[in-house]
Structure 1
């Protein structure tokens, strides 16, 4: 007598519920291997994109050209041109920074000024007169500077008597302009990299949801492994871009003879790379998580705009509050602005040795927390198509 075994048909999973565990039919593979497969796919797709390669090449050339042109302009800045006559040739003896031409007479020197050949002429005072504006106790000048339409400040300053200056604290020099430029450079690099690769992650997530490719991917790997692979792949590309920028900057500074500046910048650049690693991973996780809330490319901008604002804040803070030590100190401890604030403070010598370690610890802890929350949002929203998923529902699961 045969016995029939009644089989209960498998109940389909509720609509919109993401897969919580690896499917039983999938090939056994570790989470690390799955993550790396996704990361390698992201890297390959980006490296095959002509738009990415062209934009990266243009960025690198622009950085190298700006460094070289700036160095060459500063090195080849023309000295003020002056004309002297035999009676005033001794005035410019020993004066550095002047391009001196000789003229046979006062009239010839003045003609050189009118022609634009020289910026000014140094000639004897008319009728042997002396300068009535000379301070008491100082010898009166028996020569004058002749210019065309305005007083040549550079020539006058070079001819002026400069007293010896003693610096009580030579290391406390004012590097305001230099710090401003370096702060802007750190801000632009962090801003451009985070925006570029963050937007790529967001568009990739939504595209996979919109085309339902994600359903095929989730048949072999988990949602968290998919998100980790996307973040890892784009992070590797971003870190590689930062490394190339650092090498190109060092090459440009070396070519233009700015090795001293390169030596002063090296510690700050090294810390910037370390902070950038954690800061970018934090932002990449946020981009992936927020993009998973929507299913259309048209909605990507609205859900990722808060993350974009977090990227823009350090850039604008450096522009407007570069010289404010209090604001810069706060920036160096806030996770979203620490990759810009702390390296700049280290370059200026405003941070103690323990401050970057404490700031890096805060940033690393924040990154871990954000990844945990972001992966939950990503996993709970990835298979929900149609209307935008509410953040509260994504967190509940």
Structure 2
């Protein structure tokens, strides 16, 4: 089972079919609205995160002796006063949140003066904490690892679930309206299949690039760009895996869409492909802290686009592992494209009842 070798004429026709797919989607209000909503959600999430993570202003604290708060001087705004009475007056007037004054009767030699409630934050700052020794200071925190895993997974999942069913619906619509017969009179089946996959993939890559650009600008403007620097090469590898992995899924969606002639039946053939997207998505989310599971998933073609970049971010993958994983993904993609072409060719002109898998795979 081999994929066709394309000549110059075929390449031109593929470009025309891809252009038709792109222009049709760009004229769709639902596509433009959904893209706008996605961008708004991304930007809104970044702004919300910036607001919730914003560091509050240091509390204003009246002090009669700066040495009393020497250990936390950079975490409060000191308001020097000459006496305890002056400190109390500032607290009553609401000019300061609290006051720290000397008191020899207490074990620590100081006392906090507040108005109507205890200043819990100031008390915690003044509390004595034991020194902490980190055995693995360079390890990625669990919360950050989960965030990166979720980010990679949601991008791949959203692209597959947004554009995959769309290409299947496009194929079914052409069968329902009999437009496919006109198209096949001018364009070979394999060229039509390839053009649809290419056009849908270009749209998906463009939308993801737009979302990524929005996220980068938003994170930079709000001062949250430290994570971008930390991701480093993991993002580059994710892009490479994403491109190949999406083409693989788009081919399957196009093929399974050709197996039915009505939009109501499309779920029967595309559900297995959706499961191939959903299972790895949830698995990476739930098992991102399990090195063995993530390592295995980094070699499974349908989960590798998320699992391998995650391992690279965590520093748990050897230099050769992404190359091996990518090779497996490329070989699998080529094989599934060939399978998709056969299903597409065997099913496209069969109208009426749903084409069985046996009929679709055999000539």
Q: Is the shorter-chain TM-score for this pair beyond 0.5, marking a shared fold?
A: yes
Q: What per-residue deviation string (whole Å, max 9, x for no partner) do you get for residues 67-98 of structure 1?
A: 24423543x32146354353x65422452222
Note if contact 1:82-1:122 (Cα within 8 Å) is conserved in structure 2.
Answer: no
2: CA distance between counterparts of 1:330 and 1:234? Answer: 30
How far did residue 372 of structure 1 move? 0.6
How far did residue 326 of structure 1 move? 1.2
Note if contact 1:123-1:146 (Cα within 8 Å) is conserved in structure 2.
Answer: no
Aligned counterpart, 1:156:
123
Of 42, 51, 59, 1:81 maps to: 59
How far did residue 373 of structure 1 move? 0.7
How far did residue 275 of structure 1 move? 0.3
Aligned counterpart, 2:330:
364
> 2:180 aligned with 1:204, yes or no?
no
Q: After the TM superposition, which residues 114-133 of structure 1 pair with which residues of structure 2 at under 5 Å, given as runs? A: 118=97, 122-123=100-101, 128-131=104-107
Note if contact 1:333-1:359 (Cα within 8 Å) is conserved in structure 2.
Answer: yes
Aligned counterpart, 2:3:
none
1: CA distance between counterparts of 2:153 and 2:49? Answer: 19
1: CA distance between counterparts of 2:231 and 2:214? Answer: 14
User: Which runs of 5 or more residues in structure 2 are unaligned?
Assistant: 1-6
How far did residue 319 of structure 1 move? 2.4
User: Which runs of 5 or more residues in structure 1 are unaligned?
Assistant: 1-27, 132-139
Higher helix share: 2
1:42–1:169 CA distance, 2 compared to 1 (3 A): same
Q: What per-residue deviation string (whole Å, max 9, x for no partner) do you get for residues 269-314 of structure 1?
A: 1111100111101111111111111111011122211111211123
Q: Mean Cα displacement is larger for which, 62-71 or 301-310?
A: 62-71
Which is greater in Rg? 1
What secondary structure is seen at the aligned counterpart in 1 of 2:75? Answer: coil
> 2:318 aligned with 1:352, yes or no?
yes
Q: What per-residue deviation string (whole Å, max 9, x for no partner) do you get for residues 123-144 of structure 1?
A: 555xx5324xxxxxxxx44325
Note if contact 2:60-2:79 (Cα within 8 Å) is conserved in structure 1.
Answer: yes
Of 16, 20, 24, 1:37 maps to: 16
Q: After the TM superposition, which residues 246-265 of structure 1 pair with which residues of structure 2 at under 5 Å, given as runs? A: 246-265=212-231
Note if contact 1:40-1:233 (Cα within 8 Å) is conserved in structure 2.
Answer: yes
2: CA distance between counterparts of 1:327 and 1:149? Answer: 50
1: CA distance between counterparts of 2:192 and 2:323? Answer: 31
TM-score by length of 2: 0.87
Aligned counterpart, 2:284:
318
Q: After the TM superposition, which residues 224-235 of structure 1 pair with which residues of structure 2 at under 5 Å, given as runs? A: 224-235=190-201
What secondary structure is seen at the aligned counterpart in 2 of 1:257? Answer: coil
Q: What per-residue deviation string (whole Å, max 9, x for no partner) do you get for residues 149-175 of structure 1?
A: 6772x4334223456666565423x42
What secondary structure is seen at the aligned counterpart in 1 of 2:301? Answer: coil
Note if contact 2:156-2:306 (Cα within 8 Å) is conserved in structure 1.
Answer: yes
Q: Mean Cα displacement is larger for which, 160-169 or 201-210?
A: 160-169
1: CA distance between counterparts of 2:70 and 2:235? Answer: 44
TM-score by length of 1: 0.80
Q: After the TM superposition, which residues 52-67 of structure 1 pair with which residues of structure 2 at under 5 Å, given as runs? A: 52-67=31-46
Aligned counterpart, 1:143:
111
